[in-house]
Amino acid sequence: MSQINVDAAEIEKFSQLAAKWWDKTGEFKPLHDINPLRLDYIDQHAHLSGKTVLDVGCGGGILSESMALRGAENVLGIDMAELSLQTATTHAAEQAMDNVRYRCISVEDLAVEMPHTFDVVTCMEMLEHVPDPASVIRACAKLVKPDGWVFFSTLNRNAKSYVHAIVGAEYILNLVPKGTHDWQKFIAPAELARMARLAQLNVSGCMGMSYNLLSKKYFLCDDVSVNYMMACRSMAA
Ligand code: SAH
């Protein structure tokens, strides 16, 4: 078991909120709000219908379930917070979804167990919570099939992202609980792209997600200065 690349304090933070994953007006509201945007982005690139999908750092399964509903043949969600996985499993059962499963295992261990297994791997809003994001990226690259798709999303690291994601989202607008994010662990797109390429992933595209203060809605945009997603394709033949 290689559980070194886990920040116990981060897992504890998410575990304490485990009952709240499906409260669309609660602490995870921003994830519910951005979910249709990222789901469309993933589906447009990877065409989820009939695909075998892995969702890394799945939490309560917001994205995992939606990918199954969009047509994925089966979805495996993994996370290191057991309580979040209990919420995810219960919710999927309540929705009578039999093609979504959850496991408490590190992505590095799963990469040893199931290399080159998944058509699509998603790892959204998770890299900024781990000690060694490059290790997660390498494991995702190993888990995907040759020519398969890997998607990452995280927060850019610059003055604007500090003002928007920490001061604005945590202290002024209360969009997420205080202490949700550590700005120093944010990742610039060039850094993420470099880590992806070193893991034998080609970067196919990068897309920003911004928040409109007036409409209180997120929207996709070319501006990657705060929230962004990256679509990558496995180079390994
Ligand atoms: N990907 C989900 C949840 C994002 S919140 C979504 O976008 O809807 C971040 C998640 O990463 C939490 O569920 C947390 O428990 C998980 N996480 C943090 N460190 C992790 C690690 N080392 N391995 C797996 N999951 C981790």
CA of 50 to the centre of ligand 1 (A): 25
Nearest Cα neighbor of 181 from 3, 6, 4, 14 is: 14
Per-residue pLDDT tens listing for the chain (237 residues)? 555 899 999 999 999 999 999 999 999 999 999 999 999 999 999 999 999 999 999 999 999 999 999 999 999 999 999 999 999 999 999 999 999 999 999 999 999 999 999 999 999 999 999 999 999 999 999 999 999 999 999 999 999 888 888 888 988 888 889 989 999 999 999 999 999 999 999 999 999 999 998 898 999 999 999 999 999 999 865
Judged by DSSP in three states, 180 sits in: coil
Pocket test for ligand 1, best of 129, 154, 181, 229 (most atoms within 8 A of CB): 129
- Rounded to the nearest 10 degrees, the angle between the axes of helix 82-94 and helix 8-16 is 40
Q: Are 114 and 101 in contact (CB under 8 A)?
A: no
H or E element at residue 219: strand 217-221
Q: Which residues of 70-108 are buried (b: 16+ CB within 10 A; e: fewer)?
A: bebebbbbbbbbebbbbbbbebbeeeebebbbbeebbbb
Q: Is residue 149 part of a domain?
A: yes
Ligand 1 center–CA 128 separation, angstroms? 9
Residue 225 and residue 122: Cα distance in Å, rounded? Answer: 21
What pLDDT is recorded for position 235? 87
**In this structure, are strands 217-221 and 201-212 parallel, antiparallel, or unpaired?**
antiparallel
CATH number, position 28: 3.40.50.150
Does 189 fall in a domain?
yes
State the residue range of the domain holding 46: 8-234
Task: Name 85's bridge partners.
Answer: none
What's the number of domains the chain is made of? 1
pLDDT (0 to 100) of residue 161 = 87
2, part of any domain: no
Helices (DSSP H) in the chain: which residue ranges?
8-16, 29-46, 62-69, 82-94, 107-113, 133-143, 159-161, 189-198
Which atom of ligand 1 is nearest the CA belonging to 28?
A: 8
pLDDT score for 237: 57
- Assess if residue 178 is contained within a domain: yes
Q: 209 forms bridges with which residues in the sheet?
A: 220, 227
The answer as to whether 30 is a domain residue is yes
Give residues with Cβ within 8 angstroms of 46, minimum separation 6.
119, 120, 148, 149, 151, 231
**Sign of CA pseudo-dihedral 128, 150, 193, 40:** negative
Pocket test for ligand 1, best of 80, 82, 137 (most atoms within 8 A of CB): 80
Task: Give the pLDDT confidence score for residue 16 in this predicted structure.
Answer: 96
Residue 1 lies in a domain: no
Can you give the pTM of this predicted structure? 0.97
Task: With respect to residue 3, please indicate whether it lies within any of the assigned structural domains.
Answer: no
